[in-house]
Amino acid sequence: MRFLMALGLLLAGSAGAQEVYRCGNSYSSEPCKNAKTIDVTPAVSNPDGPLTQLIYLCKRPDKTELWWIDRPCSRERWNLVESARVPSNVDWNTQLAIAKRKRASNARQASESSNRNYSAAPSLSRSNESLCDEINQRVESLDSAARGGGSACKMEWTREERQSARDQQFRAGC
């Protein structure tokens, strides 16, 4: 009986669903030439809900390797490197693959952002004053990003970038 009720609700929901098309810079319910269908399904309303769980990337104090585990690192007296929210209804290997993919994506985005926003190697033709001003702006930007919050990986990257900028300030005599 429950199956039939669920099937009825599913069919009722899909019957009322309407496709949305992107036509150049506008959107329409009518397809146009070279229209692209847009996915308008609602986003997950609660990513921290019961269908997800945290897994943890930990480092043992006596080892150099990093380990993904399904419980907080502190329970094993290990150091937390990062955590990732993954679906709870899939097997461990899939959860692990998702977490690794998220970690690689975050690292790639952080690297691209760093390369785009700031040149790590200062040009010798610049005066120290302009270099110091640029580094100060970079530190302020990183401070603002840190106040905005984010994933553990993003916050760790922000901390490392800020430390690097402060080191550059010291070396430049700012």
Q: Which letter, b or e, does each residue of 76-113 get, where b requires 16 or more Cβ atoms within 10 Å of its Cβ?
A: eebeebbbbebeeeeeeeebbebbeebbeebeeebeee
Q: What is the pLDDT of residue 116?
A: 62
- Among 57, 47, 51, smallest CA distance to 80 is for 57
Over residues 47-102, the pLDDT tens digits come to: 555 678 899 999 988 888 899 999 999 998 999 888 888 888 889 999 999 999 98
Please check the confidence at residue 24 and state whether its pLDDT lies above 80. Answer: no
Q: Hey, where are the domains in the chain? A: 18-46, 48-117, 122-174
Please check the confidence at residue 121 and state whether its pLDDT lies above 80. Answer: no
Q: What is the pLDDT of residue 11?
A: 42
Q: What is the mean pLDDT of the chain?
A: 76
Average pLDDT of the segment spanning 114-119: 58
